[in-house]
Amino acid sequence: MTTVSNRRKVLGGLVGIGGLANSAAATLAATHRTLPRAKTNSGLVEGNTENGIYGFKGIPYGADTRLTRFQPPVPAKTWRGVRKAIAYGPASPQGSNEPNQSENCLFLNVWTPALRDGGRRPVMFYIHGGAYSNGSGSAAIYDGTNLCKRGNVVVVTINHRLNAFGYLSLGMLDDRYADSGNVGQLDIILALNWVKENIAEFGGDPNCVMVFGQSGGGAKIATMMAMPGAKGLFHRAVSMSGQQITASGPLNARKRAEVYLKALGVAKIDDLKTLDTAKLVAALGATDPVIGSGGVYFGPVLDFKNLTRHPFYPDAPAQSAAIPMMIGNTHDETRAFISDPGVYKLSWEELPERLARNLRVDILPSFVIDQYKAWYTGISPTDLFFLATTAGRSWRAAIVEDELRAAAGTPAFAYQLDFPCPDDKRRAMHTTDIPLAFDNTDKEGAVTGNGEAARKMAAILSETFIAFARTGRPDNALIPTWTPYSLAGRETMVFDLPPHLENDPRGRERKLFEKVPFIQQGT
């Protein structure tokens, strides 16, 4: 009796274990079934779901560029089966501490509320900053989940080739490399073509694509607006603290190529094909032959093939006249990247030389100082330094683009972000608008912090960007009616709490610096 009883207990336990196993298998199968899958023109991808939003990370849009170094990109190769898309792809090789670098870097990320539902949602296509040299689309503050939830949109971020890998102009040295000065731009254009061909699968509208980018990302957008290969691939544009008036001239680009090749110790251009990636990165530190300091500048090149004119010289590009554009800057741009501690202890005696090194326009520093002292009673040397450098070298290019769009009869929507980050030394510095536009004030890297005021400001700016993506106009319930920029009124939306429309903010500073011509550094 005892044996039978024990056997029954054991059998019962086995049944229980079997039931648990079956239950676990069922749960695993159910979990597997709920993972989102999408079909691209290269193959199936499987992503994740977070907060009700489908996320796909590390989707290849182009083939490994190590195999086509300094040549135009080619579409990604097809694959069999299902490719996992749950981790960001590598970033372009660069001199920064960006993790996970590789020449195999043509990857994009997609966030969407739905798949294959014919939703035709606006697509918000973000291009990262870092000039043309550093960065990636993988930072936490670029996560598209919150924008998708707030606005029922599709968000895309990308990686592409940077610095010498994307903008080393070898065409005047060897015509087989005629495209090399702009292949980083061609990568972006290839990614936009991927969106055109695939985004409907992700619930997006290929005919309603807004490109937006901060710093170097905004400059890449301004450049694309003059590139014939980008025509028709995007339908709204937002430049956040990143303008491109002129591109590098071909002769300056050749000088840079020669200096770079000398730093590498390369006699024949074909030798570049076999060099280690690390050596190519190390040589980026060679002194720029045009600027005379810093590492070699790499950016888009006026090659009369892929870029047939300067982006915003002598006028706004007619190719993009019909594209609604928003152009913005932050009030204290240079507080982010002029970080020498001595700047915060400046004396009046030191100020003229500091300005001379940092204004990037040829104007008498003493004259600038006298003007600011007359306008702002009791101003400190440090505050004067940051106001003047922001107005002269960062904000100035945005005004030029605003003016050229207005003169062409296709005005932009101009904004200035005054909302400060919590660091009183930094204030409304360069990058402050990124977490606000993405509604990501709670993410790592958000200089705004995640306080109540920051969340309110994020709601305002992200709703504005979503409205612009959807309609080509930024108007929404959280801001006053926004009049486009005109030469008569110079209407500018000032983003603070509360936001307000202002005519010609900081007009005295604008008039001061327009006394001298503006040539973008490095070009």
**Closest listed residue to residue 210, CA positions, set 413, 68, 356:** 413
User: Cα separation of 107 and 111, whole Å?
Assistant: 14
Q: Is the pLDDT of residue 10 over 80?
A: no
DSSP 444-459: TT-TT-SSHHHHHHHH
Helices (H), 408-502: 433-437, 452-471
Residue % of the chain over a pLDDT of 90 = 89
- Dihedral of the alpha carbons of 136, 141, 146, 147, in degrees to the nearest 10: -60
Which DSSP letter does residue 372 get?
Answer: H
Pairing of strands 154-158, 204-214: unpaired
Going by CATH, does the domain composed of 39-285 fall within 3.40.50.1820?
yes
Q: Which residues contact 6 (CB under 8 A, 6 or more apart)?
A: none
Band of pLDDT at residue 520, cut at 50, 70 and 90: confident
Distance between CA 172 and CA 180 in Å, rounded? 10
Strands of the sheet with 107-112, listed across from one edge? 48-50, 53-60, 107-112, 154-158, 121-127, 204-214, 236-240, 325-330, 413-417, 491-495, 500-503
Beta pairing, strands 48-50 & 500-503 = unpaired
**Alpha-carbon gap, residue 282 to 155, rounded angstroms:** 34
User: Which residues are bridge partners to 54 per DSSP?
Assistant: 49, 112
**How confident is residue 192, by pLDDT bands cut at 50, 70 and 90?**
very high
Instruction: Quote the pLDDT of residue 394.
Output: 86
If phi > 0 it is left, if psi is from -120 to 50 it is alpha, else beta; for residue 116 that is: left
449 half-sphere exposure, CB direction, 13 A CA radius: 12
Residue 437 above 60 pLDDT?
yes
How far, in Å, CA of 259 to CA of 323, rounded? 38
Q: CA 448, 452, 458, 461: dihedral to nearest 10 degrees?
A: -110
Three-class DSSP category at 322? coil
What is the reported pLDDT for 14? 36
Secondary structure of the chain: what % helix, strand, coil (to 5)? Answer: 40, 15, 45
Whether 32 shows a pLDDT value over 60: the answer reads no
Supply the pLDDT for residue 33: 52
Pick the CATH number of 324-513 from 1.10.3720.10, 3.90.1260.10, 3.40.50.300, 3.40.50.1820: 3.40.50.1820
Mean of pLDDT values over 285-305: 94
Calculate what percentage of the chain has a pLDDT beyond 70.
94
Determine how many CB atoms are found less than 10 A away from the CB of residue 150.
16
What does the pLDDT look like over 473-498, one tens digit per residue?
999 999 999 999 999 999 999 999 99
- How do strand 325-330 and strand 413-417 relate by DSSP bridges? parallel
Element (H, E) at 20: helix 2-34
Q: What is the average pLDDT across 218-227?
A: 98
Provide the pLDDT for residue 522.
80
Q: φ, ψ for residue 63 (rounded to 5)?
A: -75, 170
Q: What is the pLDDT of residue 294?
A: 86
The rounded mean pLDDT for the chain is 93
The predicted-structure confidence for 91-143, as pLDDT tens digits, reads as follows: 999 999 999 999 999 999 999 999 999 999 999 999 999 999 999 999 999 99
Helices (H), 300-364: 351-358
Residue 5: pLDDT over 70: no
Assess whether pLDDT exceeds 90 at residue 515: yes
| Residues pairing with 502 in the sheet | 492
How confident is the model at residue 34, as a pLDDT? 82
Could you tell me which residue, 21 or 159, shows the higher pLDDT?
159
Q: What is the pLDDT of residue 265?
A: 95
